[in-house]
Structure formats: structure tokens, C-alpha cells
């Protein structure tokens, strides 16, 4: 075929691919952490993480994907901190009222500012620019890895919030210029 | 010039590349095999393929990395394994390039799920270098350093090459 590969080597490469695929599929079928072969999109109501509740034995803290109604309810109760995972410019242009900026693209630096609003047991709700964005999921994962025990994602994000006419604000965060 | 050409085309250099790429791919496969869901998520962040196909890739690719990596280290079917790895590297290069063009800022997902190198030009350059190492293996690797020689010492053909 060429100086790089001949027909026989190509055939063996195909066989290696097929054999590896079979091994992977069998392993996935028996491995406790195996995953479904067809990935489903994240939907409202999905559980993201379940963690033991240190303060109440035999109970768990569940991080979930929230609907607009749930997000609005938590917003009204004032018991959750909303984190905006979009770029800082989008945050300053318009955000959910009271939200704190934690852009995924600038996580490490932005976290230093956002951390003052958070404790490990704070109920956190992360959102971004709607159902097609991933930033909220990425920030959610990073916060869970850092030890925050309840970090939900508001899937509809800013577009759903705006469509519903719920409270927003703009400009720098409180305490910033 | 002749010396440079000889060094560049030597099977000792090819052996070095074989061992290096083999170890890298075996190492890269380990977390992906242990944590398929985390690996699947890191694939989705690239936004380079339909979500419905992501899990299938996350199930198969780590084993492809592990098996080709081990066979490459052992020198068994080196050209075929280098070809498979080169194709995987082309996929990575495509995924990284489109992420850069679309300004998607994510971590690589190459060796562990979190806290590693961000996708950028350095990562792209690294994969391109590894791709050329694979081409070198495909072109210049000889049967001389293959484990299969221990089992078939008199065979000088390319049966396991």
C-alpha cells in the first residue's frame, strides 16, 4: 500500500480494533461503574451526585437538575446561592438577581472571589446560558470535587429565567466597582 | 547528513518512540477504564460528536488505548498498533482544533478527569508530535526488538511485525 502500512498490517489493525471493542463492551457490561451505551441528555429531575449527609446519619444530600419552578422557589426562599457560570461580560449584562459570578472559563481566579459567599454546606445552584451550554455542569462537577455537598444545576438557565420575567439585575457584583 | 539520515531512520529511534507512545497510552487508559462516566463527560465537553455516541466511545477507546499500548511496548504487530494509535491521535487533534476554533475552554481529559492541562496549542502540538512518532514506527520499526523474537528466534519474517 505504501512504505508506512501494508494490507496485512491494515487487516490486523482492524482486528485489534474489533477485539478491543469486544473487550470494552464485555468489561462495561460486568463492571459496577459501567455506563449505558447510548448517552441520554441531562434532563430536569436527574440526580447528579448523591452524598452521605455528615450531619444526619443514614440520610443523603442529593444534587439534582432543577426545573424553572424549583429554581424560582429556592430563589424566593433565599436559602440557596445562585452561581452564574457564564462569562463575566454576560454576567454583568444580565443575571439572576443576587447571583454570584463563577465563570467556568476563569474558574480558579473567579473562585477566590466567589468563595466568600459559600460554605461547604451551602445549597448552591449553578446556571448558564440554557440547555445547550455545559458550563454549569462543569462548574457543578468542580465544586462537588472540592467538597461542596449540595450543588444543583438549573438547566433552563438565563433564557428560561428571562422568559418567565423573574427578577434580574446587571452591573458588577455587590461590593465591586 | 548521512549520519542524521541514519539516526532518523534507525530502528533504535523507532524502539524509543514505541516504548514512549506505548507507555503514554497505557497510562492514559487507566483512569478512563476505572471511571467511564467521568471520561464520557469529558468527551461531551468537546462538543465534537453527537451526545448519543459519546458513551460508546468512552467504553471502547480506553481499551483500544490499553491493548495497542501494551502490544506496542512488546513490539507485537507494531505497525498495526501504531496505525490504530495514529488514527486515535488524528481524532484527538480534530477534537482539540475544533475546540480551539470555537473558543471552548475545557480541561484535556487525557490522563485524569480533573485539574489537568487545559485544551490549548501546547496540547495540540504534543499530539501532533506523537502522531509523527507513530508514523516513524510504521515506517522504520524492525522485528529486531520484538518480544515475538523470543518465541520465534529463527523467523526473520514479519509475522508479528
d(CA B52, CA B32): 18
Instruction: In chain A, count H helices and then E strands.
Output: 6, 8
All cell numbers assigned to A95 = 443575571
Q: Where are the alpha helices (DSSP H) in A33-131?
A: 68-77, 88-93, 107-114
From its phi and psi, is residue A122 left (phi > 0), alpha (psi between -120 and 50) or beta?
Answer: beta
Q: Whole-model pTM?
A: 0.71
Tell me: domain A47-169, CATH 3.40.720.10, correct? no
Chain A residues in contact with chain B using a Cβ-Cβ cutoff of 8 Å: 3-6, 8-10, 12-13, 16-17, 19-21, 23-25, 27-28, 31, 33-39, 41, 104-105, 134, 137-138, 141-142, 145
What percent of chain A is modeled with pLDDT above 90?
Answer: 57
Spatial neighbors of B95 by CB under 8 A, at least 6 apart, are B46, B48
d(CA A15, CA A9): 10
d(CA A45, CA A65): 5
- Domain-wise residue ranges, chain A: 1-39, 47-169
A23-59 pLDDT, tens digit per residue, is: 999 999 999 999 999 887 788 888 887 777 666 677 7
B114-149 pLDDT, tens digit per residue, is: 656 788 899 999 999 999 999 999 998 887 777 777
- Domain-wise residue ranges, chain B: 13-151
A49-71 pLDDT, tens digit per residue, is: 777 766 667 777 788 999 999 99
What pLDDT is attached to residue B159? 47
How big is the A-B interface in CB pairs under 8 Å? 100
What pLDDT is attached to residue A170? 92
Amino acid at each position: 500500500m505504501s512504505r508506512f502500512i501494508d494490507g496485512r498490517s491494515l487487516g490486523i489493525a482492524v482486528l485489534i480494533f474489533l477485539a478491543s471493542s469486544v473487550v470494552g463492551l464485555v468489561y462495561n457490561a460486568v463492571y459496577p461503574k459501567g455506563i449505558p451505551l447510548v448517552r441520554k441528555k441531562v434532563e430536569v429531575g436527574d440526580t447528579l451526585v448523591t452524598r452521605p449527609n455528615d450531619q444526619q446519619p443514614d440520610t443523603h444530600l442529593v444534587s439534582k437538575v432543577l426545573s424553572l419552578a424549583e429554581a424560582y422557589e429556592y430563589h424566593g426562599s433565599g436559602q440557596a446561592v445562585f452561581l452564574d457560570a457564564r462569562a463575566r461580560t454576560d454576567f454583568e449584562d444580565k443575571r439572576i438577581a443576587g447571583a454570584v459570578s463563577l465563570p467556568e472559563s476563569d474558574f480558579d481566579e473567579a473562585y477566590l472571589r466567589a468563595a466568600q459567599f459559600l460554605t461547604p454546606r451551602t445549597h448552591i445552584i449553578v446556571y448558564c446560558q440554557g440547555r445547550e451550554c455545559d458550563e454549569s455542569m462543569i462548574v457543578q462537577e468542580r465544586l462537588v470535587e472540592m467538597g461542596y455537598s449540595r450543588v444543583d444545576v438549573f438547566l433552563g438557565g438565563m433564557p428560561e429565567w428571562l422568559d418567565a420575567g423573574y427578577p434580574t439585575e446587571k452591573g458588577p457584583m455587590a461590593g465591586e466597582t | 547528513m548521512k549520519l542524521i539520515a541514519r539516526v532518523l531512520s534507525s530502528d533504535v529511534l523507532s524502539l524509543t518512540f514505541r516504548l514512549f507512545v506505548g507507555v503514554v497510552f497505557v497510562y492514559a487508559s487507566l483512569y478512563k477504564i476505572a471511571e467511564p462516566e467521568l471520561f464520557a463527560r469529558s468527551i461531551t465537553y468537546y462538543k465534537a460528536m453527537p451526545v448519543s455516541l459519546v458513551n460508546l466511545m468512552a467504553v471502547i477507546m480506553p481499551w483500544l488505548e490499553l491493548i495497542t499500548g501494551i502490544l506496542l511496548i512488546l513490539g507485537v504487530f507494531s505497525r498495526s498498533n501504531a496505525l490504530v494509535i495514529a488514527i486515535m491521535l488524528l481524532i484527538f487533534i480534530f477534537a482539540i482544533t475544533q475546540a480551539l476554533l470555537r473558543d471552548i475552554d475545557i480541561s484535556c481529559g487525557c490522563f485524569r478527569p480533573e485539574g489537568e492541562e487545559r485544551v490549548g496549542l501546547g496540547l495540540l502540538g504534543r499530539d501532533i508530535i506523537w502522531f509523527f512518532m507513530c508514523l516513524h514506527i510504521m515506517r522504520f520499526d524492525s522485528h529486531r526488538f520484538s518480544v515475538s523474537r523470543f518465541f520465534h528466534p529463527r523467523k526473520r519474517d514479519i509475522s508479528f511485525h
